[in-house]
């Protein structure tokens, strides 16, 4: 799934773009240790963690994009880190659950 | 909360020598030695502030009274305090204006600064120093979490505390041999050998993950299998976060030796009393702040162990914990 398509499905705003993103799965969690333990590559991470550590974890697990729920503001340092690491950032007014439902086709277990 | 809710300090409370200190102050903490960085995170405003014998005035005192008080005590500002509640500050500039304007007999509350910047007693010193850099004031009032006045902190107080801590640190180093920086490992392969050591600072979640990311890049650059790289990076990151959250600080060491990668996390205390408990998934002693950042759910050690081919942990209370994770790069 392309980033534009993902953003459209969740009524999101692309804060940091990554036109080459190829998103094949998604994982929803606010617990970064859990993300490291279970999130697959080429995933979109659906979370409310709007800080640098989310970028650090996304980089480690190979996320393509981070979806920040409840329109959480994106701090400048997070934006800069995402740009540097090539990770797309999308904000959405939806909750984690609603965003997950809207992106259900990215559920890895349904493939 | 009240009609005197402090917001912004007036630009007149500075003192000349404090300004000179500000110009040479602890800017560029990034270049500072690790020991200072740790100290600035460990020390809190309450550890360095002046709490006892703070001179103050009440709202009905005259500016003249405040002037005498400042002269007697050689200070450039007094807080206006009543029963622990901070109403304002009378600075030397306010006194000068009062003398010029001929209203030195007016009560303090008519002319005191009521919009204030204050520090909270639990703030790390590193943050307090930023305040001194961002504002030109010589001192800040310190309030507790209920907004009650508990003391005053000046740049001089901070300098004094840092010098005292440094002297103690020095004495510690002189009293015993410095901790060995070498790491225990066996044979050195000639094919590919890299060792990197990264300092990890207590409570510095901002920078945690740098070591893990660098290790990841290094391994990816060396052509190591992506899945193995991820396992190593996860262990490095978890251990890095653990040092930052739970210990007083330490190091993360990375060794690439032929077909083997070793990650060693070593901290300087306080040690883990019950390792078995700590290793269990879901057990944690982390505080709410750490949890709000998405850590501290008690998965760190368990995660590190799960991704490693070999895992060892040793801990001594109170001197510290060492965790070793080993990874075989060649899967058979």
ipTM entry: 0.82
* Residue A23 DSSP one-character state: -
Asked if A28 and A102 count as a contact pair (C-beta separation under 8 A), the reply is no
Reply yes or no on whether the pLDDT at B4 is more than 50.
Answer: no
Most confident of B20-34, B128-142, B170-184: B128-142
Cα distance between residue B79 and residue B137, in whole Å = 14
Residue A42 DSSP class: T
Number of domains making up chain B: 2
Highest mean pLDDT among B99-108, B197-206, B271-280: B99-108
Please say if the pLDDT value at position B191 is more than 50: no
Judgement on whether residues B126 and B64 belong to the same structural domain of the protein: yes
Residues from chain B contacting residue A32 (CB–CB below 8 Å): 293-295
Asked whether residue B276 falls in the same domain as residue B214, the answer is yes
**pLDDT above 50 for B155:** yes
Assess contact for A1 and A106: CB atoms under 8 A. yes
Of B205, B210, B294, the CB nearest to A31: B294
* A110 — pLDDT class (breaks 50, 70, 90): low
Is B185 found in the same domain as B155? no
Say if B288 falls within a structural domain: yes
A31, B241 in Cβ contact below 8 A? no
Asked if residue B192 and residue B285 are part of one domain, the reply reads: yes
> B19 versus B34: which is more confidently predicted?
B34
Binding-face residues of B in 166-185 toward A, CB within 8 A: none
Give the model's pLDDT for residue B34: 66
Q: Do A59 and B216 touch (CB under 8 A)?
A: yes
**Closest chain B C-alpha to A73 CA, distance in angstroms:** 15
Q: What is the per-residue pLDDT across B93-111, written as a single tens digit (0 to 9) for each?
A: 899 999 999 999 999 999 9
Q: How confident is the model at residue B16 (pLDDT cuts 50, 70, 90)?
A: very low
pLDDT band at residue B31 using 50, 70 and 90 as cut-offs: very low
Q: Which of chain A's residues have a Cβ under 8 Å away from the Cβ of B295?
A: 31-33, 53
Instruction: List CB contacts (< 8 A) between B303 and chain A.
Output: 33, 36-37
Residue B166 domain-assigned? Answer: no
Evaluate whether residue B66 is within a structural domain.
yes
Residue of A nearest to B204 (CA): A53
Compare CB distances from B297 to A31, A51, A56 and report the shortest one's residue: A31
Residues B69 and B142 in one domain: yes
Mutate: best of A29, A33, A87, partner B, most B CBs <10 A: A33
Q: Are residue B195 and residue B248 in the same domain, yes or no?
A: yes
Q: How far is A97 from chain B (nearest CA, A)?
A: 18
Please state, in angstroms and rounded to a whole number, the distance separating the CA atoms of residues B51 and B47. Answer: 10
Please report residues of A whose CB lies closer than 8 A to that of B237: 36, 56-57, 60
Q: Does B237 touch chain A (CB under 8 A)?
A: yes
Q: Which span out of A41-55, B112-126, B191-205 was modeled with the highest average pLDDT?
A: A41-55
Residue A86: enclosing H or E segment and its boundaries? none
Domain with residue B299: its CATH number is 3.30.565.10
In this prediction, residue B206 has a pLDDT band, given cuts at 50, 70 and 90, of confident
Q: Has residue B277 got a pLDDT over 90?
A: no
Closest partner residue to A33 (CB to CB) among B213, B216, B295 is B295
Query: Residue B115 pLDDT > 70, yes or no?
Result: yes
Position A87 scores a pLDDT of 95
Q: With contact defined as beta carbons under 8 Å apart, do A79 and A57 qualify?
A: no
Whether residue A2 is predicted with pLDDT greater than 80 in this model: the reply is yes
Residue B37 placed within a domain: no
Domain boundaries, chain A: 3-110
**pLDDT band at B285; cut points 50, 70, 90:** confident
- Tell me, what's the pLDDT at B139? 81
User: What digits encode the pLDDT tens for the residues B243-258?
Assistant: 998 898 888 988 888 8
Q: Quick one: pLDDT at residue B150?
A: 92
Question: How far apart, in whole angstroms, are the C-alpha atoms of residue B219 and residue A58?
Answer: 17
CB contact under 8 A, B237 and A60: yes
CA distance B304 to chain A (A): 9
Q: Do B234 and A31 touch (CB under 8 A)?
A: no
Report pLDDT for B49. Answer: 92
* pLDDT of amino acid A71: 95
> Between chains, do B209 and A32 touch, taking CB under 8 Å as contact?
no
The pLDDT tens digits for B46-75 are 989 988 888 899 999 999 999 999 988 888
* Closest partner CB to B303 (pick from A30, A36, A41): A36
The rounded percent of chain B whose pLDDT value lies above 90 is 27
State which residues form the domain around B54. 45-159
pLDDT for position B68: 92
* B142 and B197 both lie in a single domain: no
Mark whether B186 and B288 lie in a shared domain: yes
In terms of Cβ atoms closer than 10 Å to its own Cβ (0-12, 13-18, 19+), residue B47 is middle
pLDDT digits (tens, 9 = 90+) for B292-327: 788 888 888 989 999 999 999 999 888 889 999 999
Q: Tell me, rounded to whole angstroms, the distance of Cα B265 from its chain centroid.
A: 20
pLDDT averaged over every residue in chain B: 79
**Looking at residues B199-212, what average pLDDT do you find?**
83
Residues B319, B227 share a domain: yes
CATH architecture of A3-110: 3-Layer(aba) Sandwich (3.40)
Instruction: Tell me which DSSP letter residue A89 carries.
Output: E
In this structure, the number of other CB atoms found within 10 A of the CB of residue B114 comes to 17
Q: Which of B205, B216, B234 sits opposite A36 (nearest CB)?
A: B234
CB contact (8 A) between residue B230 and residue A33: no
Strand, coil or helix: what is A98? helix
Asked if B183 and B113 sit in the same domain, the reply is no
Q: Does A50 touch chain B (CB under 8 A)?
A: no
Q: What pLDDT does B107 receive? A: 95
Same domain, residue pair B150 and B183: no
Name which of B267, B33, B265 is nearest B170 in CA terms. Answer: B33
Nearest chain B residue (CA) to A62: B230
Look at residue B13 and tell me if it is in a domain.
no
* Residue B96, in any domain of the structure: yes
**Residue B127, pLDDT above cutoff 70:** yes
Asked if A51's CB is within 8 angstroms of B233's CB, the reply is no
Q: What is the mean pLDDT of residues B130-153?
A: 85
Q: What is the pLDDT of residue B129?
A: 86
**Interface contact flag, A34 B297, Cβ < 8 Å:** yes
pLDDT at B24 over 60: no
Decide if B237 is inside a domain. Answer: yes
Would you say residue B29 has pLDDT above 90?
Answer: no
Q: What is the pLDDT of residue B223?
A: 86
Same domain? For B134 and B226 the reply is no
Contact at CB, B303 and A33, closer than 8 angstroms: yes
> Best-predicted range by mean pLDDT among A11-15, B28-32, B82-86?
A11-15
Sign of the torsion angle spanned by Cα atoms B176, B179, B185, B190: negative
Please give the Cα distance from A61 to A38 (Å, whole number).
9
Cβ contacts of residue B43 below 8 Å, gap of 6+? B124, B125, B161, B162, B165
The CATH number linked to B97 is: 3.10.580.10
């Amino acid at each position: 799934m392309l980033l534009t398509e993902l953003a459209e499905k969740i009524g999101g705003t692309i804060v940091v773009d990554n036109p080459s993103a190829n998103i094949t799965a998604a994982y929803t969690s606010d617990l970064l240790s859990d993300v490291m333990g279970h999130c697959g590559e080429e995933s979109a991470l659906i979370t409310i963690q709007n800080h640098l550590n989310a970028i650090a974890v996304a980089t480690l697990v190979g996320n393509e994009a981070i979806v920040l729920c409840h329109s959480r503001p994106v701090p400048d340092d997070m934006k800069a880190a995402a740009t540097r690491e090539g990770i797309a950032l999308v904000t959405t007014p939806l909750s984690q659950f609603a965003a997950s439902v809207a992106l259900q086709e990215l559920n890895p277990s349904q493939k | 909360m009240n009609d005197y809710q402090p917001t912004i300090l007036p630009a007149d409370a500075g003192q000349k020598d404090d300004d000179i200190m500000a110009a040479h102050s602890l800017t560029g903490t990034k270049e500072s030695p690790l020991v200072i960085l740790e100290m600035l995170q460990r020390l809190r405003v309450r550890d360095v502030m002046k709490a006892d014998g703070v001179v103050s005035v009440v709202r009905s005192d005259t500016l003249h009274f405040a002037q005498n008080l400042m002269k007697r005590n050689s200070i450039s500002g007094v807080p206006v305090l009543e029963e622990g509640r901070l109403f304002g500050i009378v600075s030397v500039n306010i006194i000068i204006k009062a003398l010029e304007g001929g209203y030195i007999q007016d009560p303090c509350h008519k002319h005191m600064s009521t919009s204030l910047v204050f520090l909270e007693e639990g703030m790390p010193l590193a943050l307090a120093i930023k305040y001194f850099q961002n504002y030109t004031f010589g001192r800040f009032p310190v309030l507790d979490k209920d907004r009650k006045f508990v003391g005053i902190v000046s740049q001089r107080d901070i300098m004094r505390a840092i010098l005292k801590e440094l002297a103690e640190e020095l004495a510690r180093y002189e009293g015993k041999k410095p901790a060995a920086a070498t790491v225990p490992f066996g044979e050195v392969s000639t094919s590919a050998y890299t060792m990197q050591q990264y300092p990890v600072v207590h409570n510095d979640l901002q920078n945690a993950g740098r070591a893990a990311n660098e290790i990841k890049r290094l391994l990816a650059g060396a052509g190591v299998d992506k899945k193995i790289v991820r396992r190593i990076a996860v262990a490095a990151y978890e251990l890095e976060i653990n040092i930052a959250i739970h210990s007083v600080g330490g190091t993360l060491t990375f060794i690439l030796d032929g077909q083997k990668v070793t990650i060693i996390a070593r901290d300087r205390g306080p040690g883990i009393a019950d390792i078995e408990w700590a290793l269990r998934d879901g057990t944690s002693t982390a505080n709410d702040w750490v949890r709000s950042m998405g850590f501290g759910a008690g998965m760190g050690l368990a995660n590190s162990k799960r991704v490693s081919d070999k895992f060892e942990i040793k801990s001594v209370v109170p001197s510290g914990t060492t965790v070793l994770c080993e990874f075989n790069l060649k899967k058979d």
